[in-house]
Structure 1
Amino acid sequence: MIKVGLILGITGACRTDKLVNLTVDDIEDVGSSLITNIPRIFVVTDVGNMLELFRKYLSLRPPHVKHKRLFCTTKQENPVGKNTMRKIPSVVASSLKLPDVACYTGHCLRRSSATLLADAGVDITTIKRHAGWKSTTVAEGNVENSIENKTKIANQVLVGTTTSAIIKTVNVAKVIFLLILILKIVQM
């Protein structure tokens, strides 16, 4: 449940209440990706076997569960509540032995999504559209100043302009970082 919640939360920049209320009918498996409508449409592709994790989680759902909510407890088959969903980032941070575990709240899923997009060079309009923010100020406030972003700025200051070599290095580093993160999530 934690892995699927993390995948959907970050790829869709979801609030925890949206994840809590997500139903099995809100997700369409089209083979090469998942299309989710909650009410913003977002797609999950098969990077790092994410679709396999989702399908495995869905296959573990007991057939006699009376509710349609996607996330349910394994023992009681009750729907997962908002407090459990909010704890997903802190559980992941704890398993990765990160400092200040209590700082990782449910909102980290939306912030992580926005930050990953900003680090990839996506414009603020696309980030706003993806997360459903109307205000540029709110969108910019939800983008963390990551070390990667600070490194890009430092390179721009020191070199004058971003060269294609710097962009390629940053993109390779980002891909490696995301793959390591996904592998850690899969292995949890």
Structure 2
Amino acid sequence: MIKVGLILGIAGACRTDGIVNLTVDDIEDGGSSLIVKIPNTKTKIPRIFVVTDVGNMLELFRKYLSLRKCSSQPVGKNTMGKIPSVVASYLKLPDVACYTGHCLRRSSATLLADAGEDITTIKRHAGRKSTTVAEGYVENSIENKTKIANQVLVGTTTSAITKTVNVSIDKGR
């Protein structure tokens, strides 16, 4: 359940209650992917996302879904919301209590940003209309900072950097 909740949360940039309210009927097995429909969202706009077979995720999903069909025991919002802290504890990360259910949604946006996606893609993926709100979900990761540093410094020479610095100094900046 923890693995499936983690995959759903990150793959779909889901809120905890969006995952909790999913039923088996909301997940369609397309063979090479799963199509997940979240009919009831906070914004009242249904969302759809896809889970592909990266790292045998479909096998894990199918196994979990077959077990869920035999059980009517629901997974509650608090249990689902603790998944990030359980994962953080397993990974021996500091401040485990800081990892809440909302981390899944933020992690999804950060992973997209780190992969080079633009803010429009991030907004579309998370079901956001506001650029400002979507940007707030993207964490300033070391990977992102490294990528930016490389983009700034690649292709420049020491003389080009020196010239830029000297021009800035001459202009009083």
Q: Same fold (TM over 0.5)?
A: yes
In 2, the alpha carbon distance for the partners of 1:147 and 1:99 equals: 17
Q: Please state if 1:49 is matched with 2:44.
A: no
How far residue 159 of structure 1 moved from its aligned partner, in angstroms, is 2.5
How far residue 59 of structure 1 moved from its aligned partner, in angstroms, is 1.8
Change (3 A) 1:64 1:130: closer
In 2, the alpha carbon distance for the partners of 1:47 and 1:93 equals: 22
Unpaired segments ≥5 residues, structure 1: 66-77, 162-188
In 2, the alpha carbon distance for the partners of 1:95 and 1:159 equals: 38
Deviations 1:26-58 (A, max 9, x none): 000011000011021100000000001101111
In 2, the alpha carbon distance for the partners of 1:99 and 1:64 equals: 35
1:148 aligned counterpart, secondary structure: helix
In 2, the alpha carbon distance for the partners of 1:131 and 1:89 equals: 18
Amino acid corresponding to residue 23 of structure 2 in structure 1:
T
Unpaired segments ≥5 residues, structure 2: 39-45, 157-173
Q: Please state if 1:58 is matched with 2:69.
A: no
Matching of residues 63-142 of structure 1 within 5 Å: 63=70, 65=72, 78-142=73-137
Matching of residues 162-173 of structure 1 within 5 Å: none
In 1, the alpha carbon distance for the partners of 2:144 and 2:75 equals: 35
In 2, the alpha carbon distance for the partners of 1:148 and 1:160 equals: 20
2:7 aligned counterpart, secondary structure: helix
Deviations 1:52-88 (A, max 9, x none): 11011112225363xxxxxxxxxxxx21111111000
2:24 corresponds to: 24
Determine if contact 2:24/2:69 at 8 Å carries over to the other structure. Answer: no
Length-normalised TM-score, structure 1: 0.76
Aligned length: 149
Amino acid corresponding to residue 134 of structure 2 in structure 1:
A
In 2, the alpha carbon distance for the partners of 1:140 and 1:64 equals: 39
Instruction: Could you list the structure 1 runs, at least 4 aligned residues long, displaced by more than 4 angstroms after superposition.
Output: none
2:35 corresponds to: 35
1:60 aligned counterpart, secondary structure: helix
Q: Please state if 1:155 is matched with 2:150.
A: yes
In 1, the alpha carbon distance for the partners of 2:139 and 2:3 equals: 22
Deviations 1:110-162 (A, max 9, x none): 0010011111111101110110111100000000111110001111232357x
* RMSD over equivalenced CA pairs, Å: 1.3
Change (3 A) 1:33 1:139: same
In 1, the alpha carbon distance for the partners of 2:53 and 2:139 equals: 26
Length-normalised TM-score, structure 2: 0.83
Moved more, 53-62 or 121-130: 53-62
